[in-house]
A and B are shown apart, each in its own frame.
Chain A
Amino acid sequence: MRAAAGDEAASRELVIQMRPLVSAMAARFAGRVPRSDLEQAGMVGVLHAARGFDPSHGTPFGGYAASFVMGEMLACVRQLASPVRVPRSVADDQRTVNRAIEELTMQQGRSPTPDELAAHTGLEADAVLEALRARVASTAVGLDEPGVEHPSTPDPALQEVERRLDLGARLDRLDARSRRAVVLRFGLELSQREIAERLGISQMHVSRLLRAAMAVLADDGEDEDAATT
């Protein structure tokens, strides 16, 4: 109840208590999308559930929250799992490469090169390239697909950066998380790795958010051109 009322300490405690449930549910989607993204989506579900939970109904919170957690995880899978059909072997290599990107980025503090990915995964260089091509194709997805709604608290510092960014009303077309990723990338010029750390998501997720956002921003740029000619 305190978490529902906005008590941050209570929210943190709730997240810690619910971590085993979220982790177990994330395991059901193992290998399809990065586990860190699933668990974060699950925690969003926990916090959503806390807002509407009424203990007087007699239902344990875990049972009540499970459907919220599952809903957020399914949305996360829909958003992140590749909509582009590729041969199974390439899809397997793509998952291996995606994991390796996350691991090497954490180890090295920077994004790996394709050669480093080949050395780390044991895949042939051509297989890594094929996986990266599939990755690029799978990230080219619009923002209108079902996604996770993330509650966002306005950040005054980022709002100031937003004002300096000359993107005007184009930013209004983006959801809160994509908008934040765009502002961090183009306003503060942070790398994908740095943005991933700030937002608590994987680098792959950041790449996907940015590319989808760019498609929206690029289209709007065209509209603006047309409007001025």
Chain B
Amino acid sequence: MSARSDPIRARLSADAPQGPVVSALLVVAGAQAGLPVDRIDDAVMAAELLLGGRPAARTVGLSVRPGVVEVAVDDVEAGRLDAQRQMLEVLATAVETAGGSVRLRVEP
């Protein structure tokens, strides 16, 4: 469930440009998975929603297989997830949560 089980995993410090770093990785991951450009955009927007807000160190995991990109973010504040959940559920094919971890699956 958490980012710790993903093949690509990064611990990003609180002062790192988390959104731009993860967005750049998601463009590559989305291309490898064969996602259309608008779904790559959706994945980027969803990740930025999770990574915004108060600066905090976070672990981000990425998993890619044909037609599927998964991005997991640990240490997401519960209130933040609640506020963004409706939009996340439109942007991502599936949204799973467990504790402070969120996993988004994006498909075409």
Contacts and interface: CB of A to CB of B under 8 A. Distances in A.
Interface in B8-27: 19-20, 23-24, 27
A140 B19 contact: yes
B90 interface: yes
Given A132-B31, A186-B87, A191-B38, A218 B53 contact: yes
A194 to B, nearest CB: 10
Chain A residues touching B, range: 35 or more
B37 A117 contact: yes
A92 interface: no
A222 B54 contact: yes
Interface residues of B, number: 31
B52 A218 contact: yes
A193 to B, nearest CB: 7
Contacts of A218: 48-49, 52-53, 84
Contacts of B37: 101, 111-114, 117, 132
A215 B41 contact: no
A136 B90 contact: no
Interface string A192-229: 11000000000100010011001101110110110011
Contacts of A137: 20, 23-24
A215 B44 CA distance: 12
B38 A207 contact: yes
B45 A211 contact: yes
A220 B36 CA distance: 29
Given A111-B39, A218-B84, A222-B52, A210 B45 contact: yes
Interface stretch (B57-65, B75-83, B98-106): B75-83
Contacts of B87: 186, 214, 217
Interface in A103-120: 110-115, 117
B80 A225 contact: yes
A132 to B, nearest CB: 5
Contacts of A221: 53, 80, 83-84
Nearest to A190: B90
Contacts of B34: 113, 115
A203 B44 CA distance: 16
B37 to A, nearest CB: 5
Contacts of B73: none
Contacts of A125: 31
A189 interface: yes
B1 interface: no
A203 B38 contact: yes
